[in-house]
Amino acid sequence: MMIRPFANRLCSTAAIATLLIASSPDISWARDTKHFKKVQAGSGAAAVTLQTYASRPEAMQFADDMAARRDLDAAWVRDAIGRAQNNPTVVRLMQPPAKTFVKNWRVYRSRFIDPIRIEAGVRFWRTNQASLERAEKEYGVPAEIIVGIIGVETIYGRDTGSFRVMDALTTLAFDFPASHPRAGERSAFFKGELEQFLSLQHRRSIDPFEARGSFAGAMGMPQFMPSSWVKYALDFDGDGAVDLWNSTADVIGSVANYFKAFNWQPGMPTHYPVSFDKSRLDMDALMAPDILPTFSVASFTAKGAVLDGPALQHSGPLALIELLNGPHEPQYVAGTENFYAITRYNWSSYYAMSVIELGREVAARMER
């Protein structure tokens, strides 16, 4: 799950840990695994034969090592990795964005808060109301947040990706673009995801080449990366299997479980309005922690942030969230620990606000 068009201002240790250790749904670099229209490579009459990895010594050595680590049949692992095809489209989509790219919250928002997703969200909520209510009761995650996530990710299962997951993960494990500033780190991450994916498919007795997902290997309605599937996916419908493509109950329960694992606080708002007292504003200090909630209400306001109403009674830490608007004035909110929890799904404040606002729009339509 977890590449986006709008990166945050700095890469914190916590974000790297989420990315490389916890395998959050967000893979936070270059482009978005889920938010760009999926592209198919080598289809139709113009299809070309893509290079496989059977002739790559490092890939075959990885297969042998993985088989030993996981106690899997070495021939099966070698065959799977050997048949995987290098996908040039995956490599191209993983390239860093142009340096001239300008963040624009209004444009980003318009991609996800639209009549199509809102109406689809209403239908999804009505159809799955019992599962949403159960998930909220058991995990404390509001239905509108779960609905917002699934809508932003895949329009409620309409677009779960067309790339063979096996090809995407193997390509990124062994041919991650060298031009990327953290190519080594990313390649290591995808080797781990490839290992998790093959182990998962072996346990499920499913051909690894059947699964299709995003160009980074994210799968199903919630676009879980393999390691997230292993750690957080649930059999919420009780049928004895986890299915994040077809079981909406499993999808809902798994998303709620994911947020609980990343310290979602039941009943806490995601953010508050904020303005500034320019006479004592220390914007550099307020922006320094990026999206990580760091400031108490007292320290936040002492640096020139102005809160009112319920925000003044907030007991946890806050972060100043900046949403750039291209040539226009940026927007700001005071983000809570729950705002930060949403960014563990995709390390982007723009993404988190889209999830929140789509969920609110669907909830409002439900009430009407």
Catalytic residue annotation: 153
Instruction: Phi first, then psi: give them for residue 334, nearest 5 degrees.
Output: -95, 110
Q: How far apart are CA 287 and CA 319, in angstroms?
A: 8
CA geometry: angle 252, 265, 229, nearest 5 deg: 35
Neighbour order of strands in the sheet with 271-273 = 271-273, 328-335, 319-325
Q: Which amino acid, one-letter code, is at 156?
A: Y
User: If you write DSSP's letter for every residue of 281-342 in order, what string do you get?
Assistant: --HHHHHTTTTS--B-HHHHHHTTEE--GGGGG--S-BEEEEEEETTEEEEEEEE-HHHHHH
Cα 135 to Cα 141: distance, rounded to the nearest angstrom:
7
Under 8 Å between Cβ of 213 and 10: no
Which SS3 state, helix, strand or coil, does residue 219 take?
strand
